[in-house]
Amino acid sequence: MTPKLARFIDSGVLATPAIVIDLDRIAANFGALREALPDAAIYYAVKANPAAPVLDRLLGLGSRFDAASIEEIRACLAVGAAPSAISFGNTVKKSSAIAEAFASGVDLFAFDSDEELAKIAAAAPGAKVYCRLAVSQDGADWPLSRKFGTTGAHARDLLITARDLGLIPHGVSFHVGSQQTGVGAYQTAIGQAAMVFSDLRARGIDLRLLNLGGGFPTRYRDDIPAIGTFGDAIMTSVRAHFGNDLPDLLIEPGRAVVADAGVAVTEVVLACTRREDSDRRWVYLDIGRFGGLAETEGEAIKYAITAPGLTGPDAPAILAGPSCDGVDVMYRDTPYHLPASLKSGDRILIHDTGAYVTSYASQGFNGFLPPQEHYL
């Protein structure tokens, strides 16, 4: 937690649950990514945290934007982003959304199927398109499954079709999975992408864009490689496959930009011992899986959790949300320890919750409102 966040949380009465974000940390993270990959254009993945203060700060730093929906594109335009600085990165889009984006000046679109390509050709004639490859996501804590992406051979055929439909076959993208902690997935994927480039060059199509996607990790409870490690591995791999004819590189970081800039301030609703789990207390917080901590599904993302101001020995805890829903349990299998003195009304901090929290929050499950958001 940054000193600015700590001061704000300590300074007064804050209604819980709340998410507090340090915009300076976002700027620092953006700078570190730019330094690690100076040859890549940074398209911030808006879905990680779409709040206007975040978009505004990043715009001022020269960020571009990867949008998942027309609503996110509107949010980027609203803070003053140039349409040419926006990529419509969801491979699944309504035709009406494609048309509105194109009319607004956005001209870079993702796809991974014949059907989507036909929609883009109809709604955004002449636009630049890139095809998403399905690649290995080994090493990712929040993998993206087979929902997106296609094979290299199909991508090659699709990009030829794109040209025949009057679109500009601009490049290839992939996504190695979110919270990806290894560099190997990038290296393999870059090799797959390079084959599509060379296959198409042989057919008279010069692709320009290699979209390396997002997935760059943040530090939760476990150490992760420094961002420079990813940058070095990616550039070594790109040079090995592309030589001196480097493509335009693009990255779509979301989590790595905003996650560690945020902290959730929550209150213990109840801490109690249940006879069936007598070795561990149940600790119920006023935020849970449906209040924004959706990535605790399957205990995938393991947030660092602290109880500021409490001293004394720790005791093991099961952590649950406040709703009547039985699946609203964050951590039962993952060991967590909190002060044994913890009781109802105590304050709990859930760290590194700047990404993929506020936007997931339900609009009112069990009557609980989404966490309040504070941007400093």
Q: Which is nearer to a second copy, 2 or 113 (CB)?
A: 113
Residue 76 among the catalytic residues: no
Neighbour count for residue 65 (Cβ, 10 Å): 28
φ, ψ (nearest 5 deg) of residue 79: -90, 0
Q: Which of 146, 156, 241 is nearest to 191 (CA)?
A: 241
Cα(191)–Cα(188) distance, integer angstroms:
5
Do residues 114 and 131 lie in contact, with contact meaning Cβ atoms separated by under 8 Å?
no
* Residue given tokens 């320890």 in the structure block: 337
Centroid of chain to Cα 34? 17
Centroid of chain to Cα 37? 18
Q: Which is nearer to a second copy, 144 or 224 (CB)?
A: 144
Shortest distance, position 52 Cβ to a second copy, whole Å? 12
Shortest distance, position 142 Cβ to a second copy, whole Å? 8
Do residues 329 and 289 lie in contact, with contact meaning Cβ atoms separated by under 8 Å?
yes
Q: Which is nearer to a second copy, 85 or 329 (CB)?
A: 329
Shortest distance, position 232 Cβ to a second copy, whole Å? 27
Cα separations in angstroms, 323 against 75, 143, 326, 335: 31, 27, 8, 22
Neighbour count for residue 364 (Cβ, 10 Å): 10
Q: Which is nearer to a second copy, 112 or 237 (CB)?
A: 112
**What SS3 class is residue 209?**
strand
The answer for residues whose C-beta is within 8 angstroms of residue 3's C-beta and 6 or more apart is none
Q: Which is nearer to a second copy, 160 or 269 (CB)?
A: 269
Catalytic one of 76, 131, 272, 324? 324
Shortest distance, position 98 Cβ to a second copy, whole Å? 10
Shortest distance, position 24 Cβ to a second copy, whole Å? 25
- The type of residue at 208 is R
Q: Which is nearer to a second copy, 218 or 266 (CB)?
A: 266
Cα separations in angstroms, 32 against 234, 331, 376: 15, 32, 20
- The type of residue at 120 is I
Shortest distance, position 286 Cβ to a second copy, whole Å? 7
The terminus-to-terminus CA distance of the chain in angstroms comes to 13
Q: Which is nearer to a second copy, 151 or 188 (CB)?
A: 151
Cα(368)–Cα(134) distance, integer angstroms:
38
Do residues 87 and 67 lie in contact, with contact meaning Cβ atoms separated by under 8 Å?
yes
Shortest distance, position 31 Cβ to a second copy, whole Å? 25
Cα separations in angstroms, 214 against 87, 186, 206, 265, 374: 13, 10, 24, 27, 25
Shortest distance, position 146 Cβ to a second copy, whole Å? 6
The answer for residues whose C-beta is within 8 angstroms of residue 6's C-beta and 6 or more apart is none
Active site residues: 324
